[in-house]
Chain A
Amino acid sequence: MTLRRLAALSLLSVPAALSPLAAQTDASTTIGGYGEVHYTNVSGPGTPGTANLKRFVVYLAHSFDDRLSMRSEVELEDARLEAGSPAGEVAIEQLYLDYRLSPALTLRGGLLLPPVGIINETHEPPTFNGVARPDFDHDVIPTTWREIGVGAAGAVPGLQGFNYRLYLVNGLVASAFSADEGIRGGRQEGQDAVFANPSLTGRLEYGRPGLRIGTSFWYGGSSAQDPALGLGSFDNAVGLFSADARVERAGFALRGVFATIHVADADRINLVYGGSVASRITGGYVEGAYNLLRLAAPHSTQALNAFVRHERYDTQAEVPVGVTRDAALARRYTTVGLTYKPIWNVAVKGDYQLRRNRAGAGEDEVFRLGLGYQF
């Protein structure tokens, strides 16, 4: 029986069984989201424990038809927004249209997440260990990093397991870079973003059961046509390179990320704005975890992951002329903890973190508890 006859026979005899294949001809709207509540207690006097509704996030997506869809993410931090209070933030973290031409190419445009590292694109609480996101993913890779632009995403044709994302987005703004948080202040986050420095960002990754490795980059100017810094598109170029890996086997999970960022002409930024911005920011972390329930309750579908993570990064790895390195910015953070997951998308977390640095100044410890979910 030829394939066409089989297809015709299938069509005649089992029309209802085929209706799932036509699922996308009707428009549909989906809602999802995640949230997390934290308890944080920093060691030392004068820092009582605090509890905070860290994030409430809603995903809203709509499929117009088989190819065209909208995806969005809106976030509320710290439970409430009130004039005059420093806490609280409401922000749109993603908003874009996707047009799927093929498995190899989806065109995308809107407020996008630069696909750098692991946490920037995958930050739902049950997907990482530790109550708070790694500090590396705050001070080095400025999560949650989102900028406006256009680009493409999909599976690399012919290379099974490889995915890519490549976007052209607005640049960072150098005037807001800092010594302790690197490029983080320079994010424009979709609000009146200056497009003087179009920047390219992308990722190539490979995934199969038990392994995901990826490499990402960002390149673009950051002078934002500030006449004191430079009017060229690539002035104060920020070049970021990162690599990451996730390995899972027999209840063990290993995760590692590395990133290095170069800021061109950082001396000029400091001259104009008086800061101590570095010319190079470098660091990363390694984390190992083991699901204790594999030993204690081998038939369980729940997980109790014991983990340890060591972060080592320096937001002043190299400094331009005129800046003295602050050794306290060379951080060494070690976190140990437990993540209990009764189901795969809910996490109850606890951890203890030692915050050390090369100067030995202002060191402390933090104890945290947290609840998180995603759906």
Chain B
Amino acid sequence: MPGASKLAASVRRIFGTGVRVDSVRADTSLVLRLTRSDSLLGFARVGNVRGKDQPITWLVAVDPALRLRDIDILVYREPYGGEVAYEAWRRQFRGKGADAPLAVGRDIQGISGATISVNAVTTAVRRTMADFARWRAQGRLR
């Protein structure tokens, strides 16, 4: 499956090499739990959000304190609006916690001509952060 290598490359870029990937079930979602030599590196989640008419496959990675390590766009299927995949836009998310608004026009700058993908991905990240916070409160993300 072509996607597996993209996921692996993304995990390696964000967390480094020698990472062990396990899965944790939370509600109906699967969360990846990343460790190295038994120490917890963080969690990650993969999902889809609709762009203009195609799904955008994203990855959200957090550290053990649930602060954002990075986000990644694993598959971008439309011919434009793909600027959301670039470092210049994604790096805005790094270090933000559950308290961050994660709102376009507030703490996340948009990209003219790519407003649909910008808003779609930002919404997906915001919802994922809320999910992570809720699952931790329920004791699922240890």
Residues of A within 8 A of B (CB): 1, 3, 6-11, 13-14, 16-18, 20-24, 30, 32, 59, 61, 63, 66, 69, 71, 98, 100, 103, 106, 108, 118, 122, 127, 153-155, 160-161, 163, 205, 207-212, 246, 248, 291, 299, 301, 303, 344-345
Contacts and interface: CB of A to CB of B under 8 A. Distances in A.
B103 interface: yes
22 contacts: A7-B7, A7-B8, A10-B21, A13-B21, A16-B30, A17-B30, A18-B1, A21-B3, A23-B48, A23-B75, A24-B55, A59-B52, A118-B113, A127-B115, A160-B86, A161-B86, A163-B82, A209-B88, A209-B89, A212-B113, A299-B106, A344-B115
A103 B46 contact: no
Contact of B112 (A17, A100, A160, A211): A211
B34 to A, nearest CB: 11
B137 interface: no
Contacts of B2: 21
Contacts of B3: 18, 21-22
Nearest to B6: A21
Contacts of A98: 79
A345 B52 CA distance: 12
Given A16-B30, A24-B55, A100-B77, A208 B17 contact: no
A205 B50 contact: no
Given A20-B57, A69-B53, A208-B111, A10 B7 contact: yes
Given A6-B12, A30-B50, A209-B92, A21 B74 contact: yes
B40 interface: no
Interface of B: 1-9, 11-12, 17-23, 30-32, 45-48, 50, 52-55, 57, 74-77, 79-80, 82-83, 86, 88-89, 92, 101, 103-106, 109-115, 119
Given A17-B30, A291-B105, A207 B111 contact: yes
A11 to B, nearest CB: 5
Given A21-B6, A211-B112, A246-B113, 9 more contacts: A18-B3, A18-B4, A21-B1, A21-B3, A161-B86, A210-B111, A212-B111, A301-B106, A345-B119
Contacts of A16: 23, 30
A365 to B, nearest CB: 30
A9 B82 contact: no
Nearest to A14: B23
Contacts of B19: 1, 6
Contacts of A13: 21-23
Given A17-B23, A100-B79, A106-B79, A207 B113 contact: yes
A7 B8 CA distance: 5
Contacts of B22: 13-14
Interface centre among B23, B30, B112, B119 (most CB of A within 10 A): B112
Contacts of A59: 52-53
A299 B105 CA distance: 10
Interface centre among B31, B32, B77, B110 (most CB of A within 10 A): B77
A19 to B, nearest CB: 9
Contacts of A14: 21-23, 30, 32
Nearest to A245: B112
Contacts of A17: 7, 23, 30-32, 45-46
Contact of B57 (A21, A100, A344): A21
A213 B7 CA distance: 32
B78 to A, nearest CB: 9
Nearest to A341: B105
Interface centre among B6, B109, B113 (most CB of A within 10 A): B113
Nearest to B45: A17
B57 A23 contact: yes
Interface centre among A9, A11, A13, A21 (most CB of B within 10 A): A21
Contacts of A6: 8, 11-12, 19, 21
Nearest to B17: A1
Contact of A344 (B47, B75, B119): B119
Contact of A61 (B30, B48, B53, B119): B53
Contacts of B79: 98, 100, 106, 108, 153-154, 163
Contacts of B46: 17-18, 20-21
Nearest to A163: B80
Top 4 closest pairs, chain A to chain B, by CB: A21-B3, A61-B53, A246-B112, A7-B8
Interface centre among A22, A127, A208 (most CB of B within 10 A): A208
Contacts of A154: 79
B9 A20 contact: no
B110 A209 contact: yes
Contact of B18 (A1, A10, A23, A161): A1
A7 B4 contact: yes
